[in-house]
Amino acid sequence: MGNFFNDSALVTATIRGRAVTCRHCDGTTFGTRRIKLNTSGAEFFGFAWANKESLALVCNECGAIEEFLEGVLETQST
C-alpha cells in the first residue's frame, strides 16, 4: 500500500522544530488538504463558507489523516 500522492505534492512537516511522523506507521512524507470545521449554526443559516479550516496531513505510506489548526505546522516540499 502507500504512495497516495505524486512525489511533487509531498511535504514533510515540523511543529516547533520537531519533525512530524505518522503515529501509525512512522511515515515522514505527507499530502496536505484543507478541511472545513463546520458548525451546525453556520450550516443552518447558509454560512458554512465562513467556518474555520484545519490543515490535514495525509500519510503517504498508510493513508492516516491527522488535522492541525492553522499556524501550528511548518511544511516543506520534499
1-25 residue pLDDT tens: 567 777 778 999 999 999 999 999 9
pLDDT exceeds cutoff 80 at 36: no
What is the per-residue pLDDT for 17?
A: 95
Other C-beta atoms lying within 10 Å of the C-beta of residue 10: 20
Cα angle value 16/19/24 (rounded, 5°): 125
- The domains found in the chain, sorted by start residue, are 7-77 (2.20.25)
How confident is residue 55, by pLDDT bands cut at 50, 70 and 90? very high
What is the rounded distance in angstroms from the CA atom of residue 76 to the CA atom of residue 78? 6
Residue with cell 489523516: 65
pLDDT exceeds cutoff 80 at 32: yes
What is the rounded distance in angstroms from the CA atom of residue 2 to the CA atom of residue 62? 5
pTM above 0.85, yes or no: no
